Amino acid sequence: MWDSHCHLQLDPLFERAGSELDQASHRGIEGVVVPAYGPEQWDRQTALLKYSTVRVAFGIHPWCVPGSDVVCLTRLLEANFAKYADLWGEHLVAVGEFGLDRSNKGFKDCFEAQVQLCHQHLRLAEREGLPVILHVVRCHGRALEVLEQHRPGQGVIHSYSGPPELLPDFLRLGLSVSFGGNILHSERARKSLKTTPPEAILFETDGPAGNGLSNAGESGPKNLQEVLQAASSILGKSIEWCRSVHNENTTRVFRLNDPKEN
């Protein structure tokens, strides 16, 4: 079983990545997908590849946009992709995390710059034939407008927080939907989970934030079982069913191989 979304490169988890991965392995987690945050973390992601169970994504999170020159960020994205794609090889499985966020004034003030950078990520994913990892908060309608122009075809909206009514539109674009600790405290997230067809469901920990997990701030892949237990209760399905659905969809979306074969 893979944790489909875990920010292991961010403090404090990065410093204890080995311990986190060991604990996760003991709980049946075979590997993690570690999305990028910003250029300053790309080399830290490279360092994580000493662990055979780690896969990575390349991109720039929208939280990096406030106070930054979007032209500079766009150039960094383009100028560095080939370098890291070569370094990461088969460990590179997606473009992301990137997207749009309107959750506070600072993000609203730079929203059009976020849109510009989002377009660039989508063009990169299309050119390289990679799935996407999307961050979308309080702007799902606008995100759909942007995605319609590119139709990525494969990828995931992580920690989905939008209205259930918009799910068919995202699914029509070939995207899957990931749920994490948000299903423990958000009725809308729980309703969205119930609305999502099994073939489009993934689960995640969103570590280290956790977003509602019992040890938020220190969560990691070892906590995925807590998400599966919550999903089992919400869906009225067994934990084994949730695990099977997650495994199948995560492997398909990110085109993962069995880590033992690598």
CA 188/CA 234 separation, integer angstroms: 12
Q: What pLDDT is attached to residue 258? A: 47
Query: Which helix (H) or strand (E) is 85 found in, with range?
Result: helix 70-88
Is the pLDDT assigned to residue 159 strictly greater than 60? Answer: yes
β-strand pairing of 92-101 with 54-58: parallel
Q: Give the residue-averaged pLDDT of 113-120.
A: 98
Q: Determine whether 139 is exposed, middle or buried from the number of CB atoms within 10 Å of its CB (0-12, 13-18, 19+).
A: buried
Report pLDDT for 261. 37
Alpha helices in 89-196 (DSSP H): 105-109, 111-128, 140-148, 167-172, 187-195
Percent of the chain exceeding pLDDT 70 equals 92
Q: Which domains does the chain have, with CATH numbers?
A: 2-257 (3.20.20.140)
In this structure, are residues 136 and 157 in contact, taking their beta carbons and an 8 Å threshold?
Answer: yes
pLDDT over threshold 70, residue 216: no
Strands of the 175-179 sheet, one edge to the other: 2-3, 31-34, 54-58, 92-101, 132-137, 155-157, 175-179, 201-203
Q: How many helices (H) and strands (E) does the chain have?
A: 10, 8
* Conformation bin of residue 159: beta by default, left when phi > 0, alpha when psi is -120 to 50: left
Token pair of 52, please?
């055979």
- Per-residue model confidence as pLDDT tens digits over 66-84: 999 999 999 999 999 999 9
CA nearest neighbour of 237 among 206, 187, 196: 196
Q: What sign does the dihedral 14-89-113-159 (CA atoms) show? A: negative
**Per residue in 166-181, pLDDT tens?**
999 999 999 999 999 9
At 222 the pLDDT is 83
pLDDT more than 90, % of the chain: 79
pTM of the predicted model as reported, rounded to 2 decimal places: 0.93
